[in-house]
Structure formats: C-alpha cells, structure tokens
Amino acid sequence: MKEVLKGLLPDSFKQKLSQIRKKHLIGVEATMTLLPTDVFLVGHPKSGNTWVAFMLAMILNDKVGKKVTMANVSEFVPNLHTRGVKVKHYEDLPSPRIFRNENPTWQDHYPKTIYLVRDPRAVLLSYYHHWLHSDHENHGTLEEFVREMLEFGCIQRWEAWLVRWDLQVEDWLNRERTQSVKIVRYEDLVEDRGRKLKEIIDYAGLSCSDSLFSLVLEKGAFASMQENEKKYGAESFHGKKSEKGLFVRKGKVDGWKEEMPSHVIQMIEDEFRSTMQSLGYL
C-alpha cells in the first residue's frame, strides 16, 4: 500500500519529504552526541563571540598546554555555525566542551547556552566593516548595507543563513524562560569584564586559578588581541582579507555615534525599537 501511495505523490513532494527526513535523521545524530556538560556560545555576528571564545580558550588551554592565538581559537572552542552536526567530531575535547554557533539548528537540545547580545547599531556598523573585508565586489554604502540587513536579516550574496538581529534576540530571550540560557550583554562585558567573565566561567562549569584569570584579563584586552592578530593572524581573516585590516577592531560600545549617519541610526531604531527597549538600548 505504501508503494502505491508513494507512486501517486508528485516528485517535488517526495523530494521535499526526503529532505525533511534527512534533516531529521541528521538532527537526531547530532543531538545524540551532545554531552550534559556541553556549552554553546551563541550570538549574532559582531556581538563578541570571538572575543569571549578567545578568553575561554585560554582557560580551556590550561589542560592542553598549547599557545592560544587569534588564529587557532577554533582548536579550543570549535566554530560550528550552520554545521551543528560537526559536534560528533569533537569527542576528544576536554569537558566542558564549548562550541560557537552563530546560527544554531538544534538549539532546543543545547544543555547550556551563553547568549551574547550587543546594541544593533554597533552590530551593524561592525558587521559592515567585516563585509568590506569580504571578497565580494561592489560593497555599497553603509546605508545600503543596513537597508538590506533590515529587510532580509542578511546580505543575500554573502552570509544568507543569518537570522535578523531582533528575531534571533527575541528567540533567545524567550528560551531563557524554558532552557538553561545565560544572557550576556556585550556592553556589560566591556564595562566590567572581570565580573562578567567570572559569571561566564561559573556558568560554563570551568575552573580557573587567580593567576590564570589575571592572565586571561590581560590577554583579552582589545589592544592585546590586536597585537596577537598582527603576529599570528586571525582565523577568519586570512589571505587577502588580512591585507585590508584587522579582524579585531576597537571594540567600542558607542562607536556608531561617530560613524553612522543620523538617518541610518533612525532606520535601525525604528525597526528594532521594541527589542532594543527591552534590553536597555533605548
């Protein structure tokens, strides 16, 4: 009977069912390899994901004994993004394993999540500078970039998998009520890095001596990270990208006030007003 029914279905529908089934099986495989101590570092690009990962990598490295640089952060805090199934390839990482994922697929199953959020005005400005380093031509103006990000949530010919800032943020604010999620504002991390980093360390279940903590704070300063990048490079800025500038910028909280035209600021605020107000950005 099943074969008869399948024969009646249009090929396009059968193909869609096959894709859904494949995605489900991949998801089952990925979630079965999760450990209860796993921690996921999630946030829209340019929200401090690499910064926090770099500092946590130095703590995780205490068990490994290998130098942490801006170029090898992924060896300690793997960068999954759209490839969540890759979790299964990291069985040998010491516990707790910490993963980065800017576009999680099976977040319902994450044991612990550190969600980083940053003022969208700063996010979009920083992301625009990142876009200027890409291999694409005709990058356009900041205003054109912001308009496309507001309309589609992404730059369609670049990182089309992105979720719009407010949609992702609201999703994780809601998840905080039902899952183990720690929300960390980038601005709070800049203001009092020692206090916020201790909170992150405790939440992740890491152990860190006072001397190591002091070293992490020293090496995690933006000026120090820039020097590290100049010497070793950065994981996402290699080849021609590195010739255009550094991945680590100033890390300023309000740099958008100096660089972003007032009408572009207004566009962002009008679009994201409700979410920005809930986080104290307006």
Domain definitions of the chain by residue range:
33-278
CA distances, 242 to each of 42, 119, 157, 234 (Å): 25, 26, 21, 8
Residue whose entry in the numeric block shows the structure tokens 């990048």:
229
Q: What is the CATH number of domain 33-278?
A: 3.40.50.300
In this prediction, residue 174 carries a pLDDT of: 97
Closest by CA to 170, choosing from 262, 279, 63, is 279
pLDDT per residue, tens digit, the chain (282 aa), is: 555 555 666 666 545 545 444 444 444 455 558 999 999 999 999 999 999 999 999 999 876 567 899 999 999 999 887 565 678 788 888 899 999 998 888 899 999 999 999 999 999 999 998 888 776 667 789 999 999 999 999 988 878 888 999 999 999 999 999 999 999 999 999 999 999 999 999 999 999 999 999 999 999 998 999 899 888 888 765 555 444 555 666 667 788 999 999 999 999 999 999 999 999 999
Q: Give CA–CA dist 96/98, Å, rounded.
A: 6
The pTM (predicted TM-score) of the whole model is: 0.84
Distance CA 247, CA 100 (A): 17
Query: pLDDT at position 66, please?
Result: 74
Residue 207, CA atoms < 13 Å, CB-side half-sphere: 4
